[in-house]
Amino acid sequence: MGLAIALAVVVLPAGSALAEIKSGSDFLSPELRRQQADETRNPGFFWVEQGRELFSRRPAGDGQACIGCHVEPQQSLRGAATRYPQVDAATGRLLNLEGRIEQCRVERQAQPAFGYETPDLLSLTAYLASLSRGLPMHVRTDGLAQPYYEAGKAFFGRRQGQLNLSCQQCHDGLVGQKLRGDTISHGAGTGYPAYRLEWNDVGSLHRRLRACSLGVRATQFEAGGPEYLALELFLAARARGLPVETPAMRR
Amino acid sequence: MSFNARITLPAQAKAGEIVEIRVLTRHPMDRGGQSDGKGGTVPRKILNRLTATYAGEPIFRFDMHTGVSANPFVSFTTRAVETGDIVFEWREDGGAIYTRTARLTVT
Amino acid sequence: MSSAISPRSARTEAGIDRRSLMVGSAAGLLVAGLPLAAAADTPPDLAQLIARVTEGAIPERVRIRLEIPALAENGNSVDTRIVVDSPMTPADHVRWIHLIAEKNPFPDMARFHLGPRAGRADVATTLRIAQSQKVVALASLSDGRFVMTDADIVVTLSACIDGG
């Protein structure tokens, strides 16, 4: 029996459907969960509100506001965030929500890109993701997305950094256990951009991933770069069915 | 947009009723002292005071130091006496003033 | 944790505090003369901080409640509520409630000013608690008396420091 279990652990593929993936919210204290759900307490809603304003604001020159094309975003973009990251058909590139906003801004609005982690891009991303609150994640991992998915899966399983740890070792193997003051989660990422107490601020999933990389003393990749994009796709696929919670609150 | 506020209170109340007022504020509440990268330090920049008046009369004041969190929340109570505006005024280090107004209808 | 200690908020050595206390401060002299029973569960530094706020008066440990988590997930934002049992009438009300965190770089955290119009003495905020310590809530009453209570809080450290 013991041997069978050991074998099962060894052959368990990354992101196996055998383990039920839980939202980061399940690892918060009840107090913080209540705060997250309460619009009068969750500071993340300030970013959502700012994003909603930006969405309707005409950019410099004679460009259209986002809402000029995406009318009634509450309906037309409801659910959009559940399908990101996705491969852009025209270029074959993997885009997350941030990447799609930037693409729209540069190509359709003829504006300079905001830049990753800028307050404007964070706000717009938080707003668009918030339109999918409660809807289940369902990204595609087949077809053009498959190589990106495989790359993300490989990243998740690869030992990295001076601590020689893979994402999987903690976020599959030690979920629910304590790491200093934190409870190890599945790393679902379904609440980002999220308001993190650690940051006193709203930040992107890639900012969080950079902190993970630093935590295991590994190379911190560029926010918006190919490594974290592929990982984001893998995490989103692994979190299939979990509801979007943006703007979540996290430790 | 470094300042914003979300004020929550009942839209109406009966005369004499005690109402709870909840205020969530967007502000980094920078306690200062960090290196500015040029051999100096960043100055403190926090909201140091919130005052509330109700129909012109002061009802509440909150003095804040660096022990109050970023994006702070504060709640307090007041007795509904007459229909009027509740005016919130924040004072920031450096002298900037921000104001918001909420209406309380008393029946 | 991304905590920086500001020069402005640097704490003086405990020894220096004691010396300046003996030299002059009237409040300090009063603290030095506190009956042992009252001072027993309050470390000297905290007693000084309290005496400075009450101008030497010794607060009673009655009528005030401090709701703060025993274990904070992150010291950057700690939900805190203070309730004082008071009729809040013109004759008998809470004038203000003061919060002290002895081990914060700047121990005086905040003060709520209330009056009879509040109806209740019931306030809440989010605090920044630098480390595990004792937090004090101290209220000034309209009759000139002071009441206080305290609570121990453990602040855990985040596992993954943030390098952006």
For the segment A133-149, what is each residue's pLDDT rounded down to a tens digit? 999 999 999 999 999 99
* Residues A154, A53 share a domain: no
**Averaged pLDDT for residues C98-117:** 96
Q: What is the DSSP letter of A120?
A: H
Q: Do the Cβ atoms of B1 and A50 come within 8 Å?
A: yes
Segment among A77-81, A231-235, B35-39 with least mean pLDDT: B35-39
Range of the domain at C43: 13-58
| Residue of A97, A134, A102, A139 lying closest to A233 (CA atoms) | A139
Interface size B-C, in CB pairs within 8 Å, comes to 116
SS3 state of residue C133? strand
The tokens of A55 are what?
């969405």
pLDDT over threshold 60, residue C62 = yes
* Residues C114, C75 share a domain: yes
**Residue finishing a domain among A80, A106, A130:** A130
Residue at C26 is within a domain: yes
pLDDT > 90: percent of chain C? 65
Find the CB nearest B32 among C6, C109, C123.
C6
Q: For chain A, what is the domain count? A: 2
Q: For chain C, what is the domain count? A: 2
Contact status of A130 with chain B (Cβ, < 8 Å): no
Predicted pLDDT at B2: 83
Find the CB nearest B76 among C105, C118, C126.
C118
pLDDT over threshold 70, residue C1 = no
Confidence of residue A9 (pLDDT cuts 50, 70, 90): very low
* Residues C123, C85 share a domain: yes
Contact status of C113 with chain B (Cβ, < 8 Å): yes
Residue at A1 is within a domain: no
Predicted pLDDT at C15: 40
Residue at A68 is within a domain: yes
All partners of chain B with 3 or more CB pairs under 8 angstroms: A, C
Segment among A10-24, A138-152, B10-24 with least mean pLDDT: A10-24
Residue with tokens 């100096």: B40
Segment among A6-10, A96-100, A106-110, A183-187 with least mean pLDDT: A6-10
Residue at C128 is within a domain: yes
| Residue of C95, C143, C141, C151 lying closest to C118 (CA atoms) | C95
SS3 state of residue A220? coil
Q: Which residues of B touch A201 (CB under 8 A)?
A: 28, 70
Q: Do the Cβ atoms of B44 and C8 come within 8 Å?
A: yes
* Residues C138, C97 share a domain: yes
B63 DSSP β-pair partners: B49, C111
Confidence of residue C159 (pLDDT cuts 50, 70, 90): low
Q: Indicate the helix (H) or strand (E) that contains C100.
A: strand C94-101
Question: In angstroms, rounded to a whole number, what is the distance separating the alpha carbons of residues B69 and C72?
Answer: 13
Contact status of C69 with chain B (Cβ, < 8 Å): no
Nearest-by-CA chain C residue for B42: C6
Predicted pLDDT at B95: 96
Strands C71-72 and C146-155 turn out to be parallel
**Averaged pLDDT for residues A165-189:** 91
Residue at A210 is within a domain: yes
Predicted pLDDT at A180: 77
pLDDT > 70: percent of chain C? 70
Q: Indicate the helix (H) or strand (E) that contains C148.
A: strand C146-155
Q: Which of A66, A167, A170, A212 is catalytic?
A: A212
**Averaged pLDDT for residues A152-157:** 98
**Averaged pLDDT for residues C102-115:** 96
Confidence of residue A201 (pLDDT cuts 50, 70, 90): very high
Strands B97-106 and B12-13 turn out to be parallel
Predicted pLDDT at A10: 42
Predicted pLDDT at C158: 63
Find the CB nearest C74 among A198, A207, A215.
A198
Contact status of B91 with chain C (Cβ, < 8 Å): no
**Averaged pLDDT for residues C73-90:** 95
Predicted pLDDT at A86: 98
Q: What is the CATH number of the domain that holds A113?
A: 1.10.760.10
Using N-to-C axis directions, what is the helix angle for A146-157 and A226-238, rounded to 10°?
A: 90
How far apart are the CA of A197 and the nearest CA of chain B, in angstroms?
9
Q: Indicate the helix (H) or strand (E) that contains C71.
A: strand C71-72
Q: Which residues of A touch B24 (CB under 8 A)?
A: 40-41, 43, 46
Confidence of residue C3 (pLDDT cuts 50, 70, 90): very low
* Residues C123, C109 share a domain: yes
pLDDT > 90: percent of chain A? 85
Predicted pLDDT at A14: 47
Q: Which residues of B touch C110 (CB under 8 A)?
A: 62-65, 67-68
Q: Indicate the helix (H) or strand (E) that contains A9.
A: helix A2-11
Q: Which residues of C touch B70 (CB under 8 A)?
A: 76-77, 128
**Averaged pLDDT for residues A218-247:** 97
The tokens of B35 are what?
């290196």
**Averaged pLDDT for residues A208-224:** 95
Q: What is the pLDDT of residues B29-71, one digit of tens each?
A: 999 988 888 999 999 999 999 999 999 999 999 999 999 999 9
* Residues C154, C77 share a domain: yes
Range of the domain at A170: 21-39+140-250
| Residue of C41, C54, C64 lying closest to C145 (CA atoms) | C54
Predicted pLDDT at C66: 98
CATH, domain range B4-29+45-106? 2.60.40.10
* Residue of A41, A50, A197, A251 to mutate, interface with B, max B Cβ within 10 Å: A41
Contact status of C1 with chain B (Cβ, < 8 Å): no
Residue at C7 is within a domain: no
Q: What is the pLDDT of residues A53-75, one digit of tens each?
A: 999 999 988 889 999 999 999 99
Report in angstroms the alpha-carbon separations of C113 from A85, B51, B61: 50, 9, 5
Instruction: Detail the DSSP E strand segments found in A127-225.
Output: 178-179, 182-183, 194-196, 201-203
Nearest-by-CA chain A residue for B7: A40
**Residue finishing a domain among A130, A159, A174:** A130
Confidence of residue A221 (pLDDT cuts 50, 70, 90): very high
Predicted pLDDT at B35: 86
Predicted pLDDT at C32: 45
Predicted pLDDT at C160: 58
Contact status of B71 with chain A (Cβ, < 8 Å): yes
Q: What is the pLDDT of residues A28-49, one digit of tens each?
A: 989 899 999 999 999 999 999 9
Residue at C164 is within a domain: no
Q: Which residues of B touch C79 (CB under 8 A)?
A: 73
pLDDT over threshold 50, residue C37 = no
Q: Do the Cβ atoms of A214 and C160 come within 8 Å?
A: yes
The tokens of A58 are what?
């005409």
* Residues C125, C66 share a domain: yes
CA angle C101, C83, B10 (to 5 degrees): 115
**Displacement of CA C133 from its chain's centroid (Å):** 11
Predicted pLDDT at A43: 98
Predicted pLDDT at A8: 41
* Residues A236, A125 share a domain: no
Say if CB A100 and CB A198 are below 8 A apart.
Answer: no
Q: What is the DSSP letter of B30?
A: B
Q: Which residues of B touch A50 (CB under 8 A)?
A: 1, 4
Residue at A12 is within a domain: no
Nearest-by-CA chain A residue for C158: A181
* Residues C32, C77 share a domain: no
Q: Do the Cβ atoms of A251 and C158 come within 8 Å?
A: yes
Residue with tokens 């005024």: B89
Mean pLDDT, chain C, rounded, equals: 80
* Residues C74, C36 share a domain: no
Predicted pLDDT at B1: 61
Q: What is the CATH number of the domain that holds C76?
A: 2.60.40.2470
Contact status of B73 with chain A (Cβ, < 8 Å): yes
Residue at A164 is within a domain: yes
Phi-psi region of A190 (alpha: psi -120 to 50; beta: other; left: phi over 0): alpha
Q: Which residues of C touch A29 (CB under 8 A)?
A: 69, 73
Residue at C1 is within a domain: no
All partners of chain C with 3 or more CB pairs under 8 angstroms: A, B
* Residues A180, A120 share a domain: no
A66 is catalytic: no
